[in-house]
Amino acid sequence: MAKKRYWNTEAKNARWIKQRRGQGVGSEYKPWLSVRDVPSEGRSHRVFGHLTQRTHHLLSDLELATFLLLQWRTSTLDIREQFPLDITITKQLCNETGILHPAINGVPQFMSTDFVVNSKEKDKALFAVQVKDSSALRDARTVEKLEIERRFWRKKNTPWYLVTEKEIPAVVFKNIEWLYSLQSQELSLDDESQYFNFYSKQIAENFQLTVIDICKKIDIAYRLELGESLFQLRLLLARRYFHFDISIPYSKLRCSDLLSESFDTVVEVLHVSG
C-alpha cells in the first residue's frame, strides 16, 4: 500500500533470504520489507505490537489502521506484515494466466501480502489481508497483480481479503491522526520513563474518569498549561506504551480503556532492536 517504485537485484533478494526476511513467527518474524526499504507516498510507521512483542513495519496510515484493528481482535494470535510470496509459485500463476510477472530491469520481483494473520477461529486459523486505497483499483496493472495474489492464497487454501479505506471506520483514521501527527516530536528516554511512571499511576487511580477529564485534572493540580498533560499522554500512546481499542473515539476514551505495556520491553523493541 502506498509504495513508490523500488526494486531488488537477484543478489539483494538472495541476501534478504539469507537474513531470514519473511521468515519466523511471533517476536522472531522479520518482514520482507521495512520502512527503510520502501519510500512511502504517505506516512510510514514503526509500531510496537503487544501481541508479538516486536516492531511492526507499516507503510501507510491505511496499513496502520488495518494492523491496529487486527491486533485488537480477541481471536488474533500473530500478525506477519510485508509477507513475501514464493516467487516460484507466483511465476507459475503468471504463466497460467498470461499476466506479466512483476519485474524491473528484467529481474523478477517478489510479491508480498500486507498481512498474514494466525487466528483462534477454526474456520480462519490462517488468513491473508491485502490493503489498497480504493483509487488504486482503477489501475489495470494493480488489479492484475491482485489477481495473482488472490490465486496464490487460493492455491494455499487460505482465505484472502482485500481491504480499502471504505472498510475502515472513520473513527479509526481520526484516532490515528490524533496520535501519529505527533510522530516527529522528540522525547528523551528519561522523559519517556518519567511520563510513563507518572501517567501509569494517575490512570490506575482514576479508572472511572475519561482521559480528557484526568488530563484537565492534572493540568490544574500541577499548574500546567491547559492541554499539556494530554499532549504528554498522546506521546506515550503514539509510542504504544499504552494501547486501546482503536475503534473507540479518543474523545470518549476512559482511563479503564488504556492497557499499559512493560516500559522496558517497549524501549528495547523500539529503540534497540528496531
Residue 2 has pLDDT above 60, yes or no: no
pLDDT at residue 3 is higher than 50? no
SS3 80: strand
Residue 90, CA distances (Å) to 22, 103, 219, 232 in order: 16, 12, 57, 47
- Stretch among 26-35, 46-55, 96-105, 262-271 having the lowest mean pLDDT: 262-271
The residues, ordered by sequence, that sit 6+ positions from 52 with a Cβ below 8 Å of its Cβ are: 26, 27, 29, 78, 79
Q: How confident is the model at residue 143 (pLDDT cuts 50, 70, 90)?
A: very high
Is 3.30.70.360 the CATH classification of the domain at 170-273? no
Q: CATH number of the domain at 10-167, please?
A: 3.40.1350.10
Decide if 47 contacts 241 (C-beta within 8 A).
no
Enumerate residues 6+ apart whose C-beta is below 8 A from 82: 22, 31, 32, 33, 34, 57, 59, 112, 114
Q: Assess whether pLDDT exceeds 80 at residue 8.
A: no
Instruction: Judge whether residue 210 has pLDDT over 50.
Output: yes
Please tell me the predicted confidence (pLDDT) of residue 159.
98
Average pLDDT of the chain is 92
pTM of the model: 0.86
Give the model confidence (pLDDT) of 178-191 as tens digits: 988 876 688 889 99
pLDDT over 50 at 44, yes or no: yes
Q: At CA 34, angle to CA 93 and CA 136, rounded to 5?
A: 55
C-alpha cell at 200: 501509569
Residue 32: pLDDT over 80:
yes
List the beta bridge partners of residue 162: 130
**Sequence spans of domains, the chain:** 10-167, 170-273
* Residue 114 pLDDT: 99
Model pLDDT, residue 7: 61
Three-class secondary structure assignment of 187-226: CCHHHHHHHHHHHHHHHHHCCCCEHHHHHHHHHHHCCCCC
